[in-house]
Chains A and B, each alone.
Chain A
Amino acid sequence: MMTNGVVHANLFGIKDWVTPYKIAVLVLLNEMGRTGEGAVSLVERRKLNQLLLPLLQGPDITLSKLYKLIEESCPQLANSVQIRIKLMAEGELKDMEQFFDDLSDSFSGTEPEVHKTSVVGLFLRHMILAYSKLSFSQVFKLYTALQQYFQNGEKKSVEDADMDREDAERQMEKEELDVSVREEEVSCSGPLSQKQAEFFLSQQAALLKNDETKALTPASLQKELNNLLKFNPDFAEAHYLSYLNNLRVQDVFSSTHSLLHYFDRLILTGAEGKSNGEEGYGRSLRYAALNLAALHCRFGHYQQAELALQEAIRIAQESNDHVCLQHCLSWLYVLGQKRADSYVLLEHSVKKAVHFGLPYLASLGIQSLVQQRAFAGKTANKLMDALKDSDLLHWKHSLSELIDISIAQKTAIWRLYGRSTMALQQAQMLLSMNSLESVNAGVQQNNTESFAVALCHLAELHAEQGCFTAAAEVLQHLKERFPPNSQHAQLWMLCDQKIQFDRAMNDGKFHLADSLVTGITALNGIEGVYRKAVVKQAQNQMTEAHKLLQKLLTYCQKLKNTEMVISVLLSVAELYWRSSSPTIAMPVLLEALALSKEYRLQYLASETVLNLAYAQLILGIPEQALTLLHMAIEPILADGAILDKGRAMFLVSKCQVASAASYDPVKRAEALEAAVENLNEAKNYFAKVDCRERIRDVAYFQARLYHALGKTQERNQCAMVFRQLHQELPSHGVPLINHL
C-alpha cells in the first residue's frame, strides 16, 4: 500500500492484530458471557469488569500472568478459561476456527450479550475483522503461535520435572553455541507488540523526565532502543527517546543524529495523520528547527542555537504559527539573557502567551522575568506579587512542575535578600509538598531542577548555621537523587565544594581551600576566581589578590552581576584595611553599601556595615562605629550566618572597649563587663562553626579585658585557652585582632 509514495508496513491499516494473548482474552470474554447471572457473585463480577479494561488496552502478557490476574478476581472462571484454552491449543486448528465463528454469535439474538458499540463490543468486532482478514497460511501461523503460547504458559506452571531426551539434546546443542549467540538472544528478547513498545517508550521517557535514577542506565536503554529499531525502523518515537538518552551522557553527535532522524521520520507520520498533509508536515519542520536550537543550547553552542532558532522563527512566521513563535520567543530570551534589553522581549512574550492562551509559557515567562528583575534590584513585594499571580495560574491549570519552580525561585529570592528564615521555610515547603503531591496524583517529580535548587539552598543554609552534619546529610541525599552524571548534578557539586571551602577557610586550612578552588572554577568560573582571590588574601599574597579582584570587578560590572560586585568590593576594602590604609577602604565600602541598599541585598548590606564599622574603629572613631553597628546588628542576629553573628558581636565588644577609653572608671568597668558578655556570645558562635582562629582572638581579647577588670582567675583561664590554641594554630604573620 502506498500513500505519498512510500511503502507502508501496515498493510490493512489496522493496528490490532490477532495474537495468542488476544485469543485468551477473547476466551475470557466468551466465558464471562456464557456464565449466567447466578454463577459469579456480584463482587467477583465487578472485579472482573475492572480487570477487563487494562487487559484490553495493555500490552501482551504471558499466559500464566493472565491466569493469575483472573484468579485474583474470580478463581472459578480462571479454571474454565484455562480448560478452554487447553482444549483449543491441544486440539485441532478446527477448534480455533470454530471459536472465531462462534464469537460473532454474541451480537445476535434479541437480547445480545454484548452491545455492538461498547468497549468490549468494539474489541470483539476488531478481532473478528482482523481474524477474517488473515490469509490461509497466516491462520495456521496464528494457531502454531497459540500452541507455543500455551506451552510456554504450561512450562512455567509445571516445573520441568521430566525433561525428555529431545530437550536434553537441544540443551546440548545450545551449549555448543558460544557466548556471542547467547548475548544476541538476550538482546532479541525485546518488546514484541506495538503497544508494548509504546508503553516501554512512554514509561522510560516519563522516568527520564521525573526520576532519572529509576530509568534504565543509558547503555542498557540504548541497547533496548537499538533492538526496537531493528525490528521496526519506522518507530520514530524511539529515535526521540534515544536523543534524550544521548543527552544524558552528553553525547552531542549521537543526540544530534537521533534528533534529526526522529524529525525525518516524523515528517511522514505527521503528513499521514493530518487530513491536510501540508499543515502537519510544516509543523514538524518548525519544531525540528526549534528542537535543534534547544539541543545546541543544552550543549552550550549558543551561536549555533541562535542560527537554528532564527530558522525556526522564520518558518513559523511564514506559516503564521503563533504558538510555535511563542516557544521561539521564550528560547530567544534564554539565548539573549546576557543582553541588557532582553527583558523587553520577555515582557512581550508573556503578554503574547497570555493572549494565545498558553499558560505554561506565560508563567514560565513571568518566572524568568521575576528572576531577571530580582537581579535588577526590584522590590521584593512586587516580585512576590508577580509570583503569587502566576501561582494562581499554576494551580488553576495544575501545572505542578511550575509550582515547584515557583517555590524554588522564592527560596532563591529570599536568600538573595538575605532572609534565611524565609528561605528555609520555602525550601521546606517545596520538599514536604512533594509528598503531598505524590499521594494525590501519583506523579512523582523529584528529579527536577527545582528540587535540586531547593535542596542545595537547604544544605547551604544549614551549613551557614553551623549544622554541618545536617548539611552533609542533605548533600548525601542529593548525591543519591542526582547521580554525578545527571543533568542537575553540577548544582550540588558546586554547593558541596562551596561549603567545604568555607569550612576550610574558617578552620584556617588555606591549602585545603586552595585545592578546592580548581573544582569550583570548573563549575563556575566567576565564583572560582573570587574564591581564589580570597585564599590568596588569606595567605597574605596581597598584590596577586588585588590584581585578581580588580579584574573580576570590571568583568562583573560588565555582566551586571551585582551580588558578586559587592562581594568583590568588600574583599577589596578588606585588602586595603589589612594593608593599613583604612582611609582608602572607606569609599569602596560606601560604594558597596550604596549598591547593596539599591538592590536590597540585606545580607550583603549588613556585611558591608560590619566592614565599615571596623574601618571606623581602625580610624579611631569607635563611637561612630558603635552607632553604625547598632543599626546593622539586628538583621544580622535575625538572619545572618553564625559566623557573621560572631563577627558582629566581637566587633561590638571591640568598639565598646575602644569607646570606653574616654569614660570615667565606673562607667568604664560597666562597659568592659558588657564587652566581656558580648565576647562570650561571640565565642559561642565561633565555637559552633569551629572557627578556632577567631576563638583564639576572642580569648586573647577577653583575657586582656579580665586583666583590666582585675579578675585574675578568669583572665588566667582565658589566657590558657589562648595559649593552647596559639600553639595548635600556625600564625600567618597577620597581627592578631587585625581582622574582622
Chain B
Amino acid sequence: MAASSSVVSVAAAAAAVPGVSTSADFSDLRDIKKQLLLIAGLTRERGLLHSSKWSAELAFSLPALPLSELQPPPPLTEEDAQDVDAYTLAKAYFDVKEYDRAAHFLQGCNSKKAYFLYMYSRYLSGEKKKDDETVDSLGPLEKGQVKNEALRELRVELSRKHQARGLDGFGLYLYGVVLRKLDLVKEAIDVFVEATHVLPLHWGAWLELCNLITDKEMLKFLSLPDTWMKEFFLAHIYTELQLIEEALQKYQHLIDVGFSKSSYIVSQIAVAYHNIRDIDKALSIFNELRKQDPYRIENMDTFSNLLYVRSMKSELSYLAHNLCEIDKYRVETCCVIGNYYSLRSQHEKAALYFQRALKLNPRYLGAWTLMGHEYMEMKNTSAAIQAYRHAIEVNKRDYRAWYGLGQTYEILKMPFYCLYYYRRAHQLRPNDSRMLVALGECYEKLNQLVEAKKCYWRAYAVGDVEKMALVKLAKLHEQLTESEQAAQCYIKYIQDIYSCGEVVEHLEESTAFRYLAQYYFKCKLWDEASTCAQKCCAFNDTREEGKALLRQILQLRNQGETPSTDTPAEQLTNLKHASSPQL
C-alpha cells in the first residue's frame, strides 16, 4: 500500500517531485493501471480531453481492479477548497466552450488546478477567435497575419511563473504549447522535456514533443525521464520518423507485457505496417481493430488507403458508408469517401471530398497529396501541382507529394525537370524502389544510360516492390549489347517471380524467356535454349518465335554440332544456381 499512497500524494500535488511516481518497467501492471486512471481523471478535470481519452483507452485495455484497490479521488487541499465554487462554475462554462466566461470567473484563483484552467481557457479563447478571424479578415495579406492575440500575454505570465518555479506539469505543458505556437521551437522543446520530467503520465506533453522532433539525432540528445511512458513515446516517434523496424519492436514489446487489448497500440502497429507497405498484415490488423472498436474513426483513412491499394471496392464502400453514419464531418470520413470515389474513377467527387477534409482541417496533410493524385487522374496538371505544393508547404518531408510532382512533370513530358522532384523524394525515402525506378526511367528518357543502370540496380538492391527494375535493367543491357549482363538480369527476374510464387500475370516473363532462349542459342547451349524456347511457347506473343527456335535447334543438333564445354557452360552452372550476378 505504501507504493500506491506515494503515487497518490505525488499526483495530487501535481508531481512536485519528479521521477518518483513511475517506474521504468512494466512489472506492476496494476500500479500502471492505477496511474492511468488517476491521470485520466486529472486531465479530464483540466479539460485536456485528448490526453484523457488516451489514458482512459489504455487503462481500459488492462484488467479491471477489484474494489479494494480502486483509488479514491485525491483529497482536496486548502487552496482547492477555496476555489472549488469558482472552479465548478468555470468548468461548466468551459465544457460548453464559453472560454472567456470561464476565464473571467477564474480570475484570482490560486489553486494549481484553477490556475491551469484559467490560463487554458484564455489560450483556447484566443485560438477560437483566431480561427473565426481567418474567415473575415481585411485583405489577403492580413490573412497570414492573424494571430492568437492572447499568446504573447500568456507567454509573459507563464514565463514569470516558470522562473519562479510555480508551474506544475500541466502548466509547463501549456507553456510549451504557447511557445510552440509562437514558433519558439527550441524553447518549447526544453519546456516539454521539463514537463515530461515533472509529470510523466501526461501523454499530451509527449505527443507535442513528437511533433517538434525532426530527426533521430535530435532524439538522441534529449534527456527524457526513465519511465514506462517513455516506451510509448519512443514507439510513437519511431513511427513518425519512418524508423518502422524499431517502432514495431517497441510495440511488440508493449503487447508482450500486457497491453495486447489496447486499440491504440494495435492501430499504431497497423499504421507502421502500412508505412513499410506490408499491406496484407496491415489489412488484417485493421480488420481486427474494427471488430474490437467498430465506431472508431481515427486511422480509418490509413485503412482506406490500404483498401484502395488492394482495389477492394466493396470493403471500401462498406467502410465509407459506415463511417458516414458515425460522423460525416470528420476529416478521416471525408478522406475515406474521397478514396472510395477515386477507386470508382469518379475523380471530381473524390477531389470535392478531399477539399472538404481540408476545410475541416487545413493542416491535414494527407488530403493535399491525395487531392493532387485526383487532379492527376483528371489530367488537370496545374491544379495537381498546386495541391502537391500545398502538401509540401505543410510538411516538407512528404515524399509522396514530391513524387507526385515528379510524376506530373513526367506526364508533361519534362523528364529532366522532374528529375529534381524524384531526387527529393528519393532523399526522403532512400530505400523505396519506386522513386529509384522513376529516376531510372527519367534517365533512360534522357539517354543517360549509365545513371539509369545505377538507379535500376539500386532499386533491385533495396527490394523492388513492382518487380520491374530488373526487366528494365535487362533491357538497358540489351540495348547496350551487354548480352551477358542482360541474360543474368533476366534469369534473376525469372527466379524472383517464381520464388514469389505469385499467380499474377507478368507481362515481361515472355520477353525474358525469349531473350534467354536466343542468348543460349547464341552460346550454343542447346539444352537450355530449348527449355527456354519451350517456355516461350506458353505465351501468346512469343509462341511462334519459340517454335521457330526449337526447330532451328533441332536442325543444328541433327547436323552434329556438339555443345561446347568452355566458358558458357560454366557460366550456365553459375546461372542455374544464380547467386548474385556480378554487375
Q: Which residues of A contact B (CB under 8 A)?
A: 2, 4-7, 9-10, 17-19, 134-135, 137-138, 141-142, 145, 173, 176-177, 180-181, 184, 192-194, 197, 230-233, 256, 260-261, 264-265, 267-268, 271, 277, 281, 285, 288-289, 292, 304, 307-308, 310-311, 314-315
Contact = CB atoms under 8 A, between A and B. Distances in A.
List 6 tightest A-B contacts by C-beta distance, closest first.
Answer: A17-B139, A231-B144, A9-B140, A5-B383, A307-B416, A267-B382
B386 interface: yes
Contacts of B215: none
Given A6-B383, A145-B138, A184 B420 contact: no
Contacts of A194: 139-141
Contacts of A304: 416
B141 A314 contact: no
18 contacts: A2-B355, A5-B383, A5-B387, A138-B138, A173-B156, A180-B184, A180-B187, A181-B182, A184-B183, A193-B139, A193-B141, A194-B141, A230-B144, A231-B144, A260-B421, A277-B382, A281-B381, A289-B417
Contacts of A197: 141
A137 B351 CA distance: 32
Interface of B: 136-145, 155-156, 159-160, 182-184, 187, 351, 355, 358, 371, 375, 380-383, 385-387, 389, 393, 405, 412-417, 420-421, 446, 448
A230 B183 CA distance: 12
Given A184-B183, A311-B414, A261 B389 contact: yes
B412 A285 contact: yes
Contacts of A184: 182-184
Contacts of A17: 138-140
Interface secondary structure of A, over-half rule: helix
Contacts of B358: 7
A458 B432 CA distance: 58
A194 B421 CA distance: 30
Given A5-B387, A194-B139, A230-B144, 18 more contacts: A5-B371, A5-B383, A7-B355, A7-B358, A17-B138, A137-B136, A142-B138, A176-B160, A192-B141, A231-B141, A265-B389, A267-B382, A267-B386, A281-B381, A288-B417, A289-B417, A292-B417, A315-B412
B338 to A, nearest CB: 13
A6 B387 contact: yes
A311 B386 contact: no
Contact of B414 (A2, A265, A289): A289
B574 to A, nearest CB: 37
A311 B415 contact: yes
Contacts of B383: 4-6
Contact of A232 (B140, B156, B159, B417): B140
B417 A135 contact: no
B382 A231 contact: no
B417 A311 contact: yes
Nearest to B351: A5
A4 B138 contact: no
B389 A264 contact: yes
A181 B159 CA distance: 13
Nearest to A235: B141
A381 B145 CA distance: 64
B389 A289 contact: no
Contacts of B136: 135, 137-138
Contacts of A5: 351, 355, 371, 375, 380, 383, 387
Contacts of A176: 156, 159-160
Contacts of B137: 138
A10 B140 contact: yes
Contact of A260 (B143, B420, B446, B448): B420
B144 A285 contact: no
B141 A281 contact: no
A304 B417 CA distance: 10
B380 A308 contact: no
Contacts of B380: 4-5
Nearest to B448: A307
Nearest to A195: B141
A231 B145 contact: yes
A180 B141 CA distance: 24
A264 B418 CA distance: 12
B183 A267 contact: no
A277 B393 CA distance: 25
A314 B421 CA distance: 20
Contacts of A310: 416
A143 to B, nearest CB: 11
Nearest to A278: B382
Nearest to B443: A307
B211 to A, nearest CB: 19
Given A4-B380, A260-B420, A19 B139 contact: yes
B100 to A, nearest CB: 16
B142 to A, nearest CB: 8
Nearest to B145: A231
Contacts of B382: 4, 267-268, 271, 277, 281
A255 to B, nearest CB: 12
B420 A307 contact: no
Contacts of A137: 136
Contacts of B138: 17-19, 134, 138, 141-142, 145
A184 B183 CA distance: 9
A268 B382 CA distance: 6
Contacts of A232: 140-141, 143-144
Contacts of A4: 380, 382-383, 386
Given A5-B380, A5-B383, A6-B387, A289 B416 contact: yes
B393 A233 contact: yes
A193 B142 CA distance: 8
B252 to A, nearest CB: 40
Contacts of A260: 417, 420-421
A185 B446 CA distance: 48
Contacts of B371: 5
Contacts of A18: 138
A307 B413 CA distance: 13
Contact of A6 (B159, B386, B413): B386
Contacts of A268: 382, 385-386
A181 B184 CA distance: 8
Contacts of B142: 192
A108 B338 CA distance: 54
Task: From B145, B386, B446, name the one whose CB has the most chain A CB atoms within 10 angstroms.
Answer: B386
A315 B160 contact: no
Nearest to A288: B417
A544 B144 CA distance: 67
B159 to A, nearest CB: 7
B413 A308 contact: no
Task: From B142, B156, B385, B416, name the one whose CB has the most chain A CB atoms within 10 angstroms.
Answer: B416
Nearest to A193: B141
Given A10-B140, A176-B160, A233-B393, A264 B414 contact: no
B404 to A, nearest CB: 12
B526 to A, nearest CB: 46
B180 to A, nearest CB: 14
A7 B385 CA distance: 13
A315 B139 contact: no
B517 to A, nearest CB: 37
Contacts of A308: 416-417
B143 to A, nearest CB: 6
Contacts of B414: 285, 289, 311, 315
B349 to A, nearest CB: 12
A308 B137 CA distance: 43
A231 B144 CA distance: 4
Contacts of A193: 139, 141
Contacts of A315: 412-414
Nearest to B405: A264
B182 to A, nearest CB: 8
Contacts of B184: 180-181, 184
Task: From B141, B187, B405, name the one whose CB has the most chain A CB atoms within 10 angstroms.
Answer: B141
Contacts of B446: 307
